Chains A and B, each alone.
Chain A
Amino acid sequence: MSKKVTLPLTDEVLKDLKTGDNLLLTGVIYTARDAAHKRMVEALDQGKPLPFEIKGATIYYMGPTPARPGRIIGSAGPTTGGRMDAYAPRLIAEGLKGMIGKGSRSKAVKDAMVKHKAVYLGAIGGAGAIVSKSIKRAEVIAYEELGGEAISRLEVEGFPVTVINDIYGGDLYEEGKAKYQVKAS
């Protein structure tokens, strides 16, 4: 059973999200991958504004395939979140509330999620065709010259994700693995 969640993620919403919960997200999210993260953190270092309001925002680690004519977007599955670990704690401290990706995060990121109340949500890697169906609008809003790595504003409806890291320090990768691991006899 999936829980329907309307964005933005507020502390009130986050308090009810637990590791392992399946969610259907509706609202606005922003895409950013490696190159865009590097630029955003450089902007913060220089005291410049970010391309979107980071407070309360949810970032999707994703760079889509080009949209076919008449389509909103192409294939749109998640990329590996760990590559954004160097930048994520800084953005979380600035008010970022949600990250969507796949793959495990560093201790620094997990600590920042607990400290500042933010969550990491898993989308199914490789399942980019399914995700594209829940994207209702897509618009490049910054760093257009980065091509597939540009920042886009997406409006999503019923985007399926699973809570990996909640605000209580839970971690689905660790908990799930512990449950099914067969110890050598």
Chain B
Amino acid sequence: MREIQAGDVANIVARLFEHSCHYLPPDVIIALKQAREKEKSPVCRDVLDRILENVEIAGKEQIPLCQDTGAAVVMLELGQEVHITQGDLYTAVNEGVRQGYDKGYLRKSIVSQPCFARVNTTDNTPAMIHTDIVSGDRLKISVLPKGGGSENCSRLTVLTPTDGRQGVIDFVVNLVDEVGSNPCPPVIIGVGIGGTTDKAMFIAKKALLRQVSEPSPDPEVADLEGEILERVNNLGIGAMGYGGTVTALAVHVETFPCHIASMPVAVNMQCWCARREEAIL
């Protein structure tokens, strides 16, 4: 058994949220620069220039990249040889969120009751925590400050097996077309196919943790990603929906075995401001 103190977890979570809201991952910045090179519309090239300028200012002047510093999504991979001491794991994660959002001057965007009073919890807790138990004696913590604008454009459906590959493509492309400028394109599209409905949405979100434009290791899935990306970019939506040739930076598809009667498909939409960070304890 390896011991990890709850306080260390809280400190790391706080640091990850504060840092990720000011600095985009390098692969996202590269993808935005490539989009700037590829984009044919001068209006959208101008938008991408300003987006890249925003990235510079955020880091240099310590102003969050976006005012929507998100719901605090935390994905944990907990080695089964780890023992958390001096407190429990989820309390520690939430304490980290509380500290990170306070010290980082991040916006607190969580309300206690979704459909009644909607009173702000004032510390951005509770975090949305997902835990995988894995082998080993490490704890991997990934954080995704997830903005409401793109999350609102996410969608879940259950297709039939006969809908097949084409059904998946049509569902994703039609959704991107329908939501247009709302999710702050150029977007990263997380797609989860298979499992039960809950599993499909979870793997769609998990797909957003992948390095941008790193294709699936499965050639069939990678091919599907490429085709969806091309179809999406043919929609003409462009950066911020002003009309252009780059509507998505990447499509990441994850799959999971499913029931003989079903083919759940989930789309988790991510704005260009794709903040994520991870640490291993």
A residues near B, CB below 8 A? 20, 22, 35, 62-68, 74-77, 79-80, 82, 102-104, 122, 124-130, 132-133, 146-148, 160, 162, 172-173, 175-182, 184
Residues of the B chain whose Cβ atoms lie less than 8 Å from the Cβ of A173: 180-181, 241-243
Q: In the complex the two chains form, what is the Cα distance from A129 to B58 in whole Å?
A: 6
Given A68-B62, A103-B149, A179-B41, residue A126 in contact with residue B273 (CB < 8 A): yes
Given A63-B107, A104-B180, residue A180 in contact with residue B40 (CB < 8 A): yes
Q: In the complex the two chains form, what is the Cα distance from A127 to B108 in whole Å?
A: 18
A-B CB pair tally, cutoff 8 Å? 164
Q: In the complex the two chains form, what is the Cα distance from A91 to B203 in whole Å?
A: 42
* Binary flags per residue of B174-214, CB closer than 8 Å to A gives 1, else 0: 00000011101000000000000000000000000000000
Q: Does A128 contact B66, Cβ atoms closer than 8 Å?
A: yes
Q: Does B40 contact A128, Cβ atoms closer than 8 Å?
A: no
14 further contact pairs, Cβ within 8 A, besides A75-B107, A181-B234: A64-B67, A64-B107, A65-B69, A68-B62, A75-B67, A77-B67, A79-B67, A102-B181, A103-B149, A126-B65, A126-B66, A148-B120, A177-B236, A182-B234
| SS of B interface (majority) | loop
Q: Does B65 contact A128, Cβ atoms closer than 8 Å?
A: yes
- Contact segment of B3-11, B45-53, B85-93, B249-257: B45-53
Q: Does A124 contact B69, Cβ atoms closer than 8 Å?
A: no
Q: In the complex the two chains form, what is the Cα distance from A68 to B147 in whole Å?
A: 21
6 interchain pairs, CB-CB under 8 A: A63-B67, A63-B109, A65-B63, A77-B67, A126-B54, A147-B108
**B64 in contact (CB, < 8 A):** yes
Q: In the complex the two chains form, what is the Cα distance from A147 to B106 in whole Å?
A: 13
Q: In the complex the two chains form, what is the Cα distance from A77 to B66 in whole Å?
A: 6
Q: Which residues in window 119-164 of B have CB below 8 A to A?
A: 120, 122, 147-149, 152
